[in-house]
Amino acid sequence: MEKIKYKNMKNKFSITLPTLWKSEYIFDMLKKYDESEYVKEILLVDNAYDPTRDLSHIKKLIHIQEPHNTYVIPAYNKLVKNSTTDLIVLSSDDIDFDVDSYLYILNEIQNQIGFENAGIIGAHSDNFEENVELDPAIEPYDPSNNKTGWGVLISFHKSTWMQLPEQFKIWYADNWMQMVMPSKIFQMRRFPIKTKMSTTSASPEFQAIIDKDTEEWHKLLNKIQNCIRLKLPVEIY
């Protein structure tokens, strides 16, 4: 594929992701991000830091080395806070996709309406099907036809971000964004993404944490519903 050239995009994007190094895609994707002249920085929260792992060839890497696993959702907050651009791509570490094509689409949004007006754009479940042809469409998020995977690849303007509640560790970041963040929520369809979804979180060692996340999520839902019923301000943290 001929390399796509962009208009006014050089060094505009922050690619952000946490990892435990369990995905087969992570090293190839770091290389793809690094080779894009339109990516300014790659912020990586390393939740399984190993000093013998050589990442020196990833020139744009900002390597945030954690002494222990801080988990996904606190990592997301740290990544967005420490990014130095306004255009953020928040990626899972267990996906593989055409970086240049994705950034081209985001650039078109930036040129046409401004990214700050584009809300939060996630993925669509049909992106993970085999033989998906690249024919992207961005539309309002619709849970009735988007069954899974909205949160594996998210893009937004930094000004639209609200810190995620850190009582959640692994699950419910995407649910919280869709329900609580004031920005409009969109989905990108017909954009091929290869994934072995939940490569890390499906590990049995994290089940107790996910169970706790589920308990906290239901508490938050009940709290929101009670505030709405009583016509009280909604306290979400």
Residue 31's pLDDT band (cuts 50, 70, 90)? very high
pTM reported for the whole predicted model: 0.92
Query: What digits encode the pLDDT tens for the residues 183-221?
Result: 999 999 999 999 988 888 888 999 999 999 999 999 999
CA dist 36 and 29 (Å) reads 11
Answer yes or no: CATH 3.30.1240.10 is held by domain 13-230.
no
Paired with 13 in beta bridges are 39, 87
- Tokens standing for residue 94: 């267990």
Averaged over 104-119, what is the pLDDT?
87
Which position has the higher pLDDT, 10 or 29?
29
The yes-or-no verdict on residue 4 having pLDDT over 60 is no
- Residue spans per domain, the chain: 13-230
